[in-house]
Amino acid sequence: GFASIVKAVMPNIVMVQATGKVKGQQYNYIGSGFIIEGNYIVTNAHVIGTNPNQITVRFESSIDEKTYMVKPVYVESGYDLAILEFTGLAKNKFSGLEHLTLRLDPAFGEEAYTVGNPKGFDFSVSKCVISNPKREYKYRDVDEVIQIDMTVNPGNSGGALLDMNNNVLGVITFYPGGINGGIAMCIPSKYIVNILNKL
């Protein structure tokens, strides 16, 4: 059932923490992320901030208890996406990892889910349906988002929107202002593909 689907994806899910400084002010951000081909970690650009001096990721403790340093490879603030990668020995350690596949065709009413870090409650599983797979919505340089009926909180950002075969449909990114729950927006996977093509 659903629990075994979630268990299968867990080795590819990370919680992201970033510290940095903007205008002399220290920041400490948390979010979610996931591993795709090439052992790249995908998250939202706003999760790592504009000037990170340290970004770390960690896995669910039953999978790996270590914390790993990662570095940004590519940040596309127009899409609110960041690609990170492991450094040093960890790069070799994770090179053989099964990775998540991107899928570009979400459907109305399809079941989906995420594993995230809402308000710092890490590795929280949330299930939803796709309310609208192609919602016209202007967000930065993105013109079309996936609308889901999930309540998201700060810390869910950067998490994978997964289908029931653990393909990545998009990235949980924001909820419209003034919403009390049940509407969240995701950057579709096609925007990740655009970035990977530049790499």
Return the active site residues.
Answer: 46, 80, 157
Are the C-beta atoms of 30 and 57 separated by less than 8 Å? no
Instruction: Output the six-digit token pair for 46.
Output: 């706003």
Task: Specify the long-range contacts of residues 88-92, CB closer than 8 Å, at least 24 apart.
Answer: 91/39
**How many contiguous H segments (helices) and E segments (strands) does the chain have?**
4, 12
Are the C-beta atoms of 87 and 95 separated by less than 8 Å? no
SS3 of residue 134 by DSSP: strand
CA-based torsion, 19, 13, 38, 142: positive or negative? negative
Instruction: Output the six-digit token pair for 83.
Output: 């690609």
Say how many residues make up the chain. 199
